[in-house]
Structure 1
Amino acid sequence: MCKLFKIIYFFFIGGLLVQSCGNKKQNTVMNSPSERAKFTLLEAVEKRDVNLVTEILRTNPNLELKDKKGRTALMVAAYQVDNEIANLLISAGSNVNAQDDMLNSPFLFAGANGNVPLLNSCLSHGADFKIFNRYGGTALIPAAEKGHLEVVEILCKTPGFPIDHVNNLGWTALMEAVILSDVNETQHKIIKTLVEAGADVNIPDREGVSPV
């Protein structure tokens, strides 16, 4: 009986050792640089952990990996207005035109929310003017509506930017600036900037109403 007990005991100890080795091997794989990069870049950005983001970027991770909302790490940084991390990601090659489930891209969102530093970074890293938001609009249209004068000035001076683009509502940036915005000095400057940049004052909406 004592001998049988010893045999069972040794089998039990042996099983624990094998399991321990397996777990150690698994943990080694999960802690490898490539695995950490794959599973923690989005998390690091969400936590605003600049040091961790920098560390992960050294492993050349997939920058276009998306979360359940279709957001890349750069899109998350844009939503959090974390320009320091956004610039790290852009410099590493993140796509400034990648759209999430709401059809926002870092470039479109920067324009719509008046984030000038991010807007400039996107413009210098391949911003695509033919990618539109969920309303079929450019970065300029919501900027003109919301009173982001500096964004309007920058985009109006950007070669090739479509200042007369018509969105799904039938409105141009100038039309939204006239119809949807509060009457104030900033809005007057936005309208003046658009007109002086060559915005067509006669493009009508679906009801035949023009900015004029």
Structure 2
Amino acid sequence: MRLLVPLAAVAVLAACSSGDGASPAGSTPSAATTPSPVATTPTNPYADLSASRLSQQLLSAASTGNADKVELLLAAGAELESRDSRDRTPLLLAVTRDRVEAARVLVDAGADPDALDDRHDTPWLVTGVTGSVAMAKVVLEADPDLTIRNRFGGISHIPASERGHADYVAYVLDTTDIAVDHVNDLGWTALLEAVILGQGTEPWQQIVESLVRHGADVSIADRNGITPLQHARRLGFTEIARILERA
């Protein structure tokens, strides 16, 4: 006796064996047919700025310490040695305001640590004014010229000694070959400035100790022939006088 196959069953079997590649309803497409995500490259928001605007933005970013913006601006073509109205470079502005991370980006990009402004300051010289050891470490990576003089004929550890930046003076003397007995245009060494312009308290005592320990000549007198020890006694700086007497 012949078996009769229902027509509906025949239709289902034909669809499954037709080889058209169609997936059953509700199934997940294979990995081979899944579209790949399209990779996108972030655009630099400063890419279309003019050269002058790039320079202005870079000077501002360095001054405020926006290290990420500094990096983007340099990538967009900002001039590394841009100058403001006082001939200050981005690095000099970052150093002046102790923006360490921004300064690091600039130094890594090759910024000049010896670029002079209209007051004859350089990024390195200004570290002696601010007394920032962290910044001194960054700028030293750029191999600054330690012999460049400021407008008073001094080098970095002299204003630092005057201002009581004890940690800075110790660091610079410990890590560089800066001229300990350099004499500025006033006829003063760092030792004389620490005594004459200092307050005689602990920071200046530490500075005198550091200078003496690194071989400062305690006999170098000012233009009137007065030695650091004589100044210390005159000013009543007893502890500094003791340090100098032992030297």
Conserved? CA contact 1:34–1:61, under 8 Å: no
CA deviation after TM superposition for structure 1 residue 59, in Å: 3.5
Deviates more, 1:61-70 or 1:32-41: 32-41
Letter in 1 for 2:218: V
What's the secondary structure of 2:182's corresponding residue? coil
What's the secondary structure of 1:144's corresponding residue? helix
Q: Aligned residue for 1:153?
A: 170
Residues 169-209 of structure 1: per-residue CA shift (max 9 Å, x gap): 00000011111100112211110110110001111111111
Counterparts of 1:40 and 1:57 in 2: how far apart (Å)?
Answer: 10
Say whether 1:74 aligns with 2:70. Answer: no
Q: Aligned residue for 1:182?
A: 199
CA deviation after TM superposition for structure 1 residue 31, in Å: 5.5
Deviates more, 1:106-115 or 1:167-176: 106-115
- What residue ranges of structure 1 are gaps of 5+ in the alignment? 1-29
Question: Normalised by the size of structure 1, how large is the TM-score?
Answer: 0.79
Q: Aligned residue for 1:134?
A: 151
CA deviation after TM superposition for structure 1 residue 153, in Å: 0.6
Q: Aligned residue for 2:211?
A: 194
Counterparts of 1:177 and 1:32 in 2: how far apart (Å)?
Answer: 51
Conserved? CA contact 2:107–2:141, under 8 Å: no
Tell me the percent identity. 38
Conserved? CA contact 1:41–1:56, under 8 Å: yes
Question: Normalised by the size of structure 2, how large is the TM-score?
Answer: 0.69
Conserved? CA contact 1:74–1:89, under 8 Å: yes
Counterparts of 1:176 and 1:83 in 2: how far apart (Å)?
Answer: 28
CA deviation after TM superposition for structure 1 residue 136, in Å: 0.7
What's the secondary structure of 1:150's corresponding residue? helix
What's the secondary structure of 1:141's corresponding residue? helix
Counterparts of 2:137 and 2:170 in 1: how far apart (Å)?
Answer: 12
Q: Aligned residue for 1:51?
A: 68
Change (3 A) 1:71 1:58: same
Counterparts of 1:34 and 1:48 in 2: how far apart (Å)?
Answer: 22
What's the secondary structure of 2:175's corresponding residue? coil
Say whether 1:206 aligns with 2:206. Answer: no
Counterparts of 1:125 and 1:137 in 2: how far apart (Å)?
Answer: 20
Change (3 A) 1:155 1:73: same
Query: What is the alpha-carbon root mean square deviation over aligned residues?
Result: 1.9
Q: Aligned residue for 2:48?
A: 32
Question: Which protein is bigger by CA-based radius of gyration?
Answer: 2
Q: Aligned residue for 1:10?
A: none
Q: Aligned residue for 2:239?
A: none
Residues 5-48 of structure 1: per-residue CA shift (max 9 Å, x gap): xxxxxxxxxxxxxxxxxxxxxxxxx9536735345321333454
Q: Aligned residue for 1:125?
A: 142
- What residue ranges of structure 2 are gaps of 5+ in the alignment? 1-45, 230-247
Counterparts of 1:39 and 1:144 in 2: how far apart (Å)?
Answer: 34
Say whether 1:99 aligns with 2:99. Answer: no
Deviates more, 1:45-54 or 1:136-145: 45-54
